Amino acid sequence: MTLNNGKLKAKDFATDQDVRWCPGCGDYSILKQLQSVFAELGLDKDKVAVISGIGCSSRFPYYMDTYGMHSIHGRAPAVASGLRMSQPDLDIWVVTGDGDGLSIGGNHLLHTLRRNFNLNILLFNNQIYGLTKGQYSPTSEVNKRTKSTPMGSIDHPVNPLSFAMGADASFVARSMDRDPKHLKAMLHRSRNHRGTSFLEIYQNCNIFNDGAFFAFTDKSTKPETAIFLEHGQPLRFGAGQGKGIRIDGLRPVVVDLEKDGFSPDDLWMHDETDIYKAQILTRFFDDPTTREDYLPRPFGVLYAVDRPCYEDGLFGQLEEAVNEKGEGDLDALLAGGATWEIV
């Protein structure tokens, strides 16, 4: 395997495998940006592992010239957690989808986030099951008509970022496949965070759910529907950044800076370390196509905080045990405190 002497390019992280996604799939964009980020970070290919579950997104390890595993449905976080404990020097990336990660894998995702292993989770959200041909997923909107819900889904959808915050994730962010510059920046931020980073990526499935995020990606609507967060900067959006968000008690409200007589200093200033405001930001989840009083959807880092990693505590306990008792005796440990001899 080629070692990185500072000369690897994005194409060096691509394999010789044919990329088998539908033409126009948003996964192509994510793949390209991740390969570019690995090159920019100067990573060695033998120090990186990409772990996936099941789904269209989970083909990722085949297309990354690094170590990797195409694991089982929903269990990528568990596999990655074990790998982190056994190989602490690896850069570990988990690739999952809204179905893989939030349905059968929801329990594994929750515990990985709260334990705060030092790894990166990329959740591709296209609000549909693509690999199995178009059934509704945990993130599909209410009344979604699919092959499995011909009369419309009656499920209340999962809000991935609220889920992550509820699991006490130490890093929570959102980006989209059709904004490669922002996506690349968020991939860098995810990797630079020590702990479990959770990055939701809106990914268009042009076959089974085309245009699900059109309001946030199209140039004509994006300024009014999406707000891009920057630490220490006011929450502004709209054409010419003419609108902003203020806090009225605990309620966020949209204001027009010129018409309402506010300056940028009067607006909500984004603080990535404020867990309470991050919780509010995750609730900016209105559908702009059905509500006139919607709040713009946040993109960027909603929350980032330093917290001890699980493996640090684990390795500390192992070191302490060895220092106190010397080398361990596995046979004695398995035998426990009471044994019987059968004669």
Q: Is the pLDDT of residue 150 over 90?
A: yes
More confident residue, 291 or 98: 98
Q: Quick one: pLDDT at residue 70? A: 97
Contact 103, 137 (CB under 8 A): yes
| Rg from Cα positions in the chain | 22
Contact 10, 33 (CB under 8 A): no
159 φψ region: left (φ > 0), alpha (ψ -120 to 50), beta (else): beta
Express each pLDDT in 84-118 by its tens digit.
999 999 999 999 999 999 999 999 999 999 999 99
Instruction: Please report the sign of the dihedral spanned by the C-alpha atoms of residue 53, residue 59, residue 64, residue 66.
Output: positive
Cα separation, 216 vs 231, in Å, equals 21
Express each pLDDT in 302-338 by its tens digit.
999 999 999 999 999 888 877 776 776 777 777 777 7
Contact 83, 38 (CB under 8 A): no
Q: Quick one: pLDDT at residue 80? A: 98
Cα separation, 91 vs 67, in Å, equals 10
Q: How far is CA 340 from CA 14, 34, 289, 331, 335, in A?
A: 57, 56, 70, 14, 10
Percent of the chain with pLDDT over 90: 87
Q: Quick one: pLDDT at residue 325? A: 67
Q: Could you tell me the pLDDT band of residue 2, with boundaries at 50, 70 and 90?
A: very low
154-168, 207-221, 322-336: least confident range: 322-336
Q: Quick one: pLDDT at residue 340? A: 75
Q: Could you tell me the pLDDT band of residue 3, with boundaries at 50, 70 and 90?
A: very low
Mean pLDDT of 16-43: 96
Q: Return the domain boundaries, the chain.
A: 10-212
Strand arrangement, sheet containing 243-248: 236-237, 243-248, 251-256
Q: Quick one: pLDDT at residue 250? A: 86
Q: Could you tell me the pLDDT band of residue 293, with boundaries at 50, 70 and 90?
A: confident
Q: Which long-range contacts (CB under 8 A, 24 or more apart) does 157-163 make?
A: 157/127, 158/98, 158/102, 159/282, 159/283, 159/285, 160/98, 160/102, 160/123, 160/125, 160/200, 161/198, 161/200, 161/281, 161/282, 161/302, 162/279, 162/282, 162/283, 162/285, 163/102, 163/106, 163/109, 163/110
Express each pLDDT in 261-287 by its tens digit.
999 999 999 999 999 999 999 999 988
Percent of the chain with pLDDT over 70: 97
Cα separation, 219 vs 170, in Å, equals 32
Topology annotation, domain 10-212: Rossmann fold (3.40.50)
pTM across the whole model: 0.93
Q: Could you tell me the pLDDT band of residue 1, with boundaries at 50, 70 and 90?
A: very low
Mean pLDDT of 62-91: 96
Mean pLDDT of 51-74: 97
Instruction: Please report the sign of the dihedral spanned by the C-alpha atoms of residue 59, residue 160, residue 87, residue 48.
Output: positive
CA-nearest of 11, 24, 37, 43 to 199 is 37
SS3 61: helix
What single DSSP character describes residue 234?
A: B
